[in-house]
Chains A and B, each alone.
Chain A
Amino acid sequence: MRLGDPANPSRNEIWAVGGGKGGTGKSFLSANLGIALSHRGKRVLLIDADLGCANLHTCLGIDYPEATLSDLLKGRIKRIEQAIVPTGIPNVGLISGAQDILEVANPKHAQKERLLRQIQGLDIEYIILDLGAGTSFNILDFFLIADQGILAVLPEPTSIENVYRFIKSVFYRRFRKVAKEDAVKEMIALAMDQKNEFGIKTPYDLIEQVARMDPGVGEQLKKEMYSLRPKLVVNQVRSKDDITLGFSMRSSCAKYFGITVEYVGYVEHDDHVWQATKRRRPLLTEYPASNAARGIEKVAAHLADHEQLTIDYLVGTALRR
């Protein structure tokens, strides 16, 4: 089937891969999750939304993309279909990242809205957004427009802390968008400061504080909090403890933030990944039988089927090596 055929637009599902720090495997996961979905018979569009450091095309072995996201955002290309380049992988297309950083590192709200409408009009079942590092509003906004927001975390302290920071920022960003009242907006802005006078440390505290000012808005924020459920992928695991980390982070987020995070799987640290990277080929086409590839396939299946790991999974789990 031809990619980007708008003849039969249907509601598609948007995934976004983020998680704070650079180098946690966001681009690696984006590309390979897309390929895993295509193996499940789905049509997929990858979008490199890392406006500061676009390199998804490199992961896919494309030297210099003809058209880019910035062409589309800037209106140099009118129709989104024209920005899609083939990847050589059946049923997987790519909109490459902006090459001219200065121009679009900060797209306007209207530009993002327009892009979203264009994406939603595509007759492609899955759209995967590869996000940049950090917690800038652009990144948070792309994460929030996704149906499934995926967080890539490495089993190391700095990455975990970054993911928590990302989670918190994304919730505050969402609350700010929902809240209409100036007083509530102000409260949310105050809450961003960790040492705020109200002692608000978590989205949960914030909701309580807002509910005190306006119970209706408090209820609304609570609903938002329950509906936004980030998905966690632990990448580069080397031990059973690393696998357990996903469950522990899920528990900690529930207890501390009052937020539901779903643990959708892990990917082993695997030398096949850098071997594939060196050849600028995606892991799933180069080494489909590798441990990391199998991990990715499972993550894709969980996400597509809206499932997650349960703790009984840990029993008898050992790395195959």
Chain B
Amino acid sequence: MKPPREQNFYEIFEIPATATREQIEQAYELAKKTYGDASLAAYSLFDLEERKEIVRKIHLAYETLSDENRRKQYDREIMKLDIQETLPPSGSAAMQTTRGVDRPDSSGEKPPKSEPVPIVIESLTGSELRRIRESRGIPLQEIANKTRINITYLEFLEKNKYGSLPPPVYLRSYVLQYARMLGLDPIPLADRILSLVEQAKKSDQQ
């Protein structure tokens, strides 16, 4: 269970990725009622800001999933099939690319089918790492077993819970190992994660 902020469009609607057009319509209607202004079910659990955020995401999800082309592209993005096909085998060097991985299709413009979805390590987040890992069919447990990193830390990393990660000295070596198992460039990824941890600390102190 992920917080709404990290849920993908199917998760936000609580529907399977195979949902029909009709199911999407129904889920949209229900979600608007559930989290909208007159909501009896949600007001005592989520504050106004949180509900606004959920509603924004609901509209975006609907715009995307109700358009067949945009949905197809979104599916490709979350499944990362493209990446899987075009990535070098694990252990090889970084991929230089130009666009984010977890970019929900809000612009409408889309790349041709065959164009790989690029990875920009400098802007990756933990949850994007999870998708990349899943697209490569590597279970988290396997990484935990091979690297002997506590699986809870790996989960924190993949859930963007940077504040809960171990101190930088350990973390750095963890991320290096994790990156190698995913076939990502280890050093830039370690830098990226440590900078996310820094940011998390700063925003915590505020």
| Chain A contacts to B: CB under 8 angstroms | 155-157, 160-161, 164, 204, 208, 211-212, 215, 218, 241, 244-245, 247-249, 251-252, 254-258, 311-312, 314-315
A254 and B1 contact, CB distance less than 8 A:
yes
Contact A248–B14 (Cβ < 8 Å): no
Q: Are A311 and B44 in contact (CB under 8 A)?
A: no
B interface residues (Cβ-Cβ under 8 A, vs A):
1, 3-4, 7, 14, 22-23, 26-27, 30-31, 33-34, 39-46, 54, 150-152, 155, 161, 164
Query: Which residues of chain A have C-beta atoms less than 8 A from B31's C-beta?
Result: 251
A37 to B161, CA, bound (A): 48
Q: How far is the CA of A4 from the CA of B39 in the complex (A)?
A: 46
Chain A residues contacting B34 (CB-CB under 8 Å) are 247-248, 251-252
17 A-B residue pairings within 8 Å (CB atoms): A157-B40, A160-B40, A160-B41, A160-B44, A218-B152, A241-B33, A244-B30, A248-B42, A251-B31, A251-B34, A254-B14, A255-B4, A255-B46, A255-B54, A258-B1, A311-B27, A312-B26
A248 touches B39 (CB 8 A): yes
Given A241-B33, A314-B30, 8 more pairs with CB closer than 8 A: A160-B41, A161-B44, A164-B44, A252-B34, A252-B42, A256-B46, A311-B30, A312-B23
Task: Report chain B residues within 8 Å CB of A249.
Answer: 41
Smallest CB gap from B4: residue in A: A255
| Residues on B with beta carbons closer than 8 Å to the beta carbon of A155 | 40
Q: Measured between C-beta atoms, what is the minimum distance from B3 to chain A in Å?
A: 8
A252 / chain B contacts, CB cutoff of 8 Å: 34, 41-42, 45-46
Contact status B27-A211, CB under 8 Å: no
Contact yes or no, A251 B40, CB < 8 A: no
Contacts of A241 in B (CB 8 A): 33
Give the Cβ gap from A86 to chain B, nearest Cβ, in Å: 41
Q: Which of B22, B23, B30, B151 is in CB contact (< 8 Å) with A215?
A: B151
